[in-house]
Amino acid sequence: MTQPAAGSGTLWSAVVLGGGDPGDPFAAAHGVAVKALLPVGGEPMALHVLRALRGSGRVARVAYVGPTLPDMDPLIDERVTDHGTLLSNLEAGVEQLSRAGLASGARVLVVTADIPLVTPEQIADVLASAPPDAGLVYPVVRRSECERAYPGVKRTYARLREDTFTGGNLFLLDPGLIGQFLPRLREVLAARKAPLRLAGLIGPGVLVKLLTRRLTVPELEARVSTILGVKARALITPHAAIGTDVDKETDLTLVEAQLGHTVSG
């Protein structure tokens, strides 16, 4: 497990992933082209995320990948066309920031546009806590934190020796390493529905430990680092909103209730 980094004055550049499948039935049911534009509290879901980034005081530049609405545009510096897949959009967003100019050694914050409950304070805390020596930092949230913040919330969890966690919907990366680990990450994602192939990538020993809840966070970090070829670290955060994305109607009901609104039919 990583420990908080010293110093908190660095300004970051961010990529917001707001693209999606134009045939997404969830988005279509609410009359929008992609999920990121789905109305939450009467405003596009992505607008809540953009405000949190800007309000954090830690983000100097934002690249947005995907279609936008006029209310979002003032909060975006670089607009990037949706390339159709998550990893292609990630690559396009980081490349756009690099072309616009990134300081040597600067890392990039990548955020999905479907976590409308995230707050400026939570963004600032994650950035201040990010270990400085990792090429990839991935926040995770304890199940107990998620259920305390949002009783009844349904998420996908992994049970490790230390606790049970869900993954966050943002991460930090060294843009100079993206060409190194994206091909491996694509390979892992392509194998996710082929158990034998995935087991071969993860390693049978690690997989057995994971299934028997004996795998530790440091062991998982080490294996991910080996698979992707970069130094990867997990950052345990108490902020349940980071692990609470909107993928279905029950998620939408949850965030509307949290924001004090009622879902409109």
At 30, is the pLDDT very low, low, confident or very high (cuts 50, 70, 90)? very high
Four-way CATH pick for 12-259: 3.40.190.10, 3.40.50.170, 3.90.1170.40, 3.90.550.10: 3.90.550.10
Instruction: Over range 4-27, report the average pLDDT.
Output: 79
Neighbours of 194 (CB within 10 A): 11
Instruction: Say if residue 21's pLDDT is above 90.
Output: no
Q: What does the alpha-carbon distance between residue 85 and residue 125 come to, in Å, rounded to a whole number?
A: 29
At 189, is the pLDDT very low, low, confident or very high (cuts 50, 70, 90)? confident
Q: What does the alpha-carbon distance between residue 124 and residue 265 come to, in Å, rounded to a whole number?
A: 35
Q: What does the alpha-carbon distance between residue 1 and residue 207 come to, in Å, rounded to a whole number?
A: 19
Instruction: Say if residue 64's pLDDT is above 50.
Output: yes
Domain ranges of the chain: 12-259
Instruction: Say if residue 125's pLDDT is above 60.
Output: yes
Instruction: Over range 131-137, report the average pLDDT.
Output: 94
Q: Which amino acid is at 131?
A: P
At a CB cut-off of 8 Å and minimum separation 6, what does 230 contact? 134, 135, 136, 174, 177, 180, 181
The CA distances from residue 224 to 26, 157, 181, 189, in Å, are 32, 17, 10, 13
pTM score: 0.91
Q: What pLDDT does 210 receive?
A: 86
Structure tokens of 31? Answer: 């009359």
Say which residue, 180 or 197, is predicted with more confidence: 180
Q: What pLDDT does 82 receive?
A: 96
